[in-house]
Structure 1
Amino acid sequence: MVVLEKAPAKINLSLDVLHKRTDGFHEVEMVMTTVDLADRIELKLIERNQIKVVSESRFVPNDERNLAYRAAKLMKEHFSIKKGVRIFIEKNIPVAAGLAGGSSDAAAVLRGLNKVWEIHADLDELAELGARIGSDVSFCVYGGTALARGRGEKITALPSPPPCWVVLAKPSVGVSTQTVYQKLNVNKAEHPDTEAMIKALENKNFEAICANVSNTLEGVTTRLHPEVNQIKEKMRDAGADAVLMSGSGPTVFALVSQDARVQRIYNSLKGFCPEVHIVRMLGNRETPC
C-alpha cells in the first residue's frame, strides 16, 4: 500500500510571546495559515519492521533528527504497530526557514500512517500526538487557519483569509529558534493585537489583516540578521500590501492583493535572495481521516 500526503508550509499572520513558562517553554499566541508551497510525502509499507526515511535533499536527515522519522516512531510505539514503512520526502519548503517544513512533514506522516497502518484515529488524536514531537505539529495536522496557544499545541480553528498572493523570500542565513527565544526580552518586545487579527479574519477584511500583521520575534532576528529588514524594505518598495517575518525567521512574506505587483516584488528579490516563491494561501483545514 502506498499513500501520498501533502505537507504545506505555514506563515504566521501574528506571533506573540507572552511569557516564559515554568517548564522552560514560552507561552505563545499565534495566528497561522497554510500556503500552497508544500513538501510531498510518500508512505509505503515494507516487509521489515523498521522506519526508513529517504530524500533526494541533502538537508533531510534519515534518523531521529528528522521530525518525520520521530512521528513514525511515535505512531509505532503509541499504537503498538509491528509493521515497517518507507518514507520518501520530496523537499520543496526551505529548511530552517520559519515555515514549519519539518513540522508539516511530521504531521503528514501522522495522517498518512493513520491510513497505511489502518489505525483509524481522528485528527484530534493525531494532533495530540503531534504536540509531543514539536510545537507546530499540532497545527500542521489540521492545516488551514488557526489560533495556536500554549506551546502551540492548543488549536482553535479560524476563518480562512480572503484570497491573495503571498511572496516568500528566504535569505541564505540560518536562524536558530532556540537562540532567538534566548535573546528575547518579552517585556521590551512589540506585541501583536491578536484579537484584532482574529476579527479581521472573521470579517474577511484584507486591509485589517495587513494592518495587524506582527511578530514579537522579529526584532530579535533582525538584530542578528539585518538581511531580514532589507528584504522587508524591498518588498514594501515594490508594492506589497503587508510584510512580515514568519516564525523565528529568516523567511519574510509579502501579502499582495493585485496580480500586477506580484511579479514586480518577485523580480526585486530574485537577485538578492537564493529562494523566492510566489504562492497562494490555502486557508482551509484538512478533511478528516
Structure 2
Amino acid sequence: MQEITVKAPAKLNLALDIVGTDGRGYHLMKMVMQTIGLYDTITVQKQPEGTSGEEIILSCTHPAVPCNEHNIAYAVAHSFFDTCGIRDRSLRIHIQKLIPQQAGMAGGSANGAGVLAALNALYQTKLSLEELCRIGKETGADIPFCLTGGTALVEGIGEKITKLPDLPDCVFVVAKPKGGISTQRAFAEFDRRGIAPSLDLEKMCKAIGEGDILSVSENLYNAFERVCGLRDVEIIKNMMMSCGAKGALMTGSGSAVFGIFTDRGRAYACEKRLKERYAECFLCNPVPHGSVIV
C-alpha cells in the first residue's frame, strides 16, 4: 500500500465554557462537541525510499494554508514517525480544503487527525485510538476529538473525551463571515475581562441522552461569544432564527455560526438566503465518526 485518502470532518461546539488554567498556562475547557458532514480530504502517499531526501512534502488547495513545518499536518506526521521509530520520511501530503479557516471548526486539527489515521494505516503500525490521541494532543488540543468524532463531552485542554449518544435527527446550517478570529487573541480577551464560568453542562448532556433536539437547541452556549466583537455573528444568528432555526450559536472561538433545524426545507431556504451575503455557507448533518479512510 502506497497511498491512503482520508475524509476529515469539521466540528461544532454545542456548548463551550472556559473554567480555568492548568499549571502550564493552558486553558481548561468544558465542551460538548459534534462532528458534521463537512470534510477536508487528505491524501497521504509514500514516496520511493530516499527520493525526496527523506522529507515530507505538503500541498494544499487553499493558498493561505502554510505548506511547511507551521502546518499541524506536517508537525503531527513528524510526531508519528518519532513515536514509531520510522526513519525514512519520504512522504507527500495533499489537503483538499473545504473547512473554512479561522472559523472555530477545527480545520487544522481535523487535518492533523486525518494524517494520523492515514499514517497508521499506511505504515500498518496498528496504533490504538488512545495511542493516536496521545500523539495528536501534543500538537493540537482538538486532534483527539477529531480522531474520535461523533457527539462527546470534552474536558481539560481537549484530551478528556466522554462519548455521548448520537445527536437526535437534525440539520445544521453553517455560515462563515469574511472576518476571522484568532483563537489566541480570543483567549487573551477572555482572560482580560475575567469572565467567570457559567455553563451548566448537565442540561445539555441530559437533552442529548433523551434525544430532545429542542432542549439541545435551548441550551446552546459559547463563552467566546461574549468577547468575539464581530457584528456579523449576531446578524447571522438572527437570520438563522428568522428562517426557523431552533437555536443558533457561534462555534469555537469563531467566526463561523451554526443553526440547528428540524425541517430540511427551512434549512435549505436559510442556506440559500445566507449565500446571498456570505460566500462560505454549508448544509450539513451530524456524523457519528472522526477521520475515516475512503
* Band the TM-score falls in, shorter-chain normalisation: over 0.9
Q: Which residue of 2 aligns with 1:34?
A: 35
Q: Which residue of 1 aligns with 2:222?
A: 215
- Per-residue CA deviation, residues 164-195 of structure 1 (Å, 9 max, x unaligned), is 11000000001111111111157535632211
| More moved, 77-86 vs 105-114 | 77-86
Q: Which residue of 2 aligns with 1:253?
A: 258
Give me the whole-angstrom Cα distance separating, in 1, the residues matched to 2:196 and 2:235.
20
Report if the CA contact (8 A) 1:33-1:160 is conserved.
no
Counterparts of 1:36-115 in structure 2, within 5 Å, are 36-47=37-48, 48=50, 49-83=54-88, 84-115=90-121
Shift in Å, 1:260: 2.1
Give me the whole-angstrom Cα distance separating, in 1, the residues matched to 2:282 and 2:176.
9
Shift in Å, 1:52: 1.0
Give me the whole-angstrom Cα distance separating, in 1, the residues matched to 2:39 and 2:172.
14
Residue among 134, 139, 149 paired with 2:155? 149
Shift in Å, 1:284: 3.9
Give me the whole-angstrom Cα distance separating, in 1, the residues matched to 2:9 and 2:227.
26
Give me the whole-angstrom Cα distance separating, in 2, the residues matched to 1:43 and 1:172.
30
Q: Which residue of 2 aligns with 1:25?
A: 26
Shift in Å, 1:277: 0.6
| TM-score (norm. length: structure 2) | 0.93
- Is 1:206 matched up with 2:213? yes
Shift in Å, 1:283: 2.8
Which letter maps to 1:76?
Answer: F
Q: Which residue of 1 aligns with 2:13?
A: 12
Give me the whole-angstrom Cα distance separating, in 2, the residues matched to 1:197 and 1:12.
12
Shift in Å, 1:228: 0.7
Q: In structure 2, do the counterparts of structure 1 residues 272 and 243 end up closer, same or farther at CA, with 3 Å as the change threshold?
A: same
Give me the whole-angstrom Cα distance separating, in 2, the residues matched to 1:113 and 1:254.
35
Give me the whole-angstrom Cα distance separating, in 2, the residues matched to 1:106 and 1:97.
16
Q: Which residue of 2 aligns with 1:123?
A: 129
Give me the whole-angstrom Cα distance separating, in 2, the residues matched to 1:287 and 1:153.
20
Which letter maps to 2:215?
Answer: A
Q: In structure 2, do the counterparts of structure 1 residues 15 and 248 end up closer, same or farther at CA, with 3 Å as the change threshold?
A: same
Shift in Å, 1:286: 6.2
Report if the CA contact (8 A) 1:189-1:219 is conserved.
no
| More moved, 74-83 vs 245-254 | 74-83
Shift in Å, 1:287: 7.7
Report if the CA contact (8 A) 1:169-1:277 is conserved.
yes
Report if the CA contact (8 A) 2:275-2:281 is conserved.
yes
Q: In structure 2, do the counterparts of structure 1 residues 85 and 105 end up closer, same or farther at CA, with 3 Å as the change threshold?
A: same
Shift in Å, 1:20: 2.5
Structure 1 residue ranges (4+ consecutive) displaced by more than 6 angstroms after TM superposition: none
**What is the aligned residue count?**
286
Give me the whole-angstrom Cα distance separating, in 2, the residues matched to 1:275 and 1:287.
24
| TM-score (norm. length: structure 1) | 0.95
Give me the whole-angstrom Cα distance separating, in 2, the residues matched to 1:125 and 1:187.
36
> Unpaired segments of 5 or more residues in structure 2?
none
Shift in Å, 1:85: 1.4
Instruction: Find the residue that maps to 2:227 and give its secondary structure.
Output: helix
Instruction: Find the residue that maps to 2:178 and give its secondary structure.
Output: coil
Report if the CA contact (8 A) 1:192-1:213 is conserved.
no
- Is 1:169 matched up with 2:211? no
> Unpaired segments of 5 or more residues in structure 1?
none
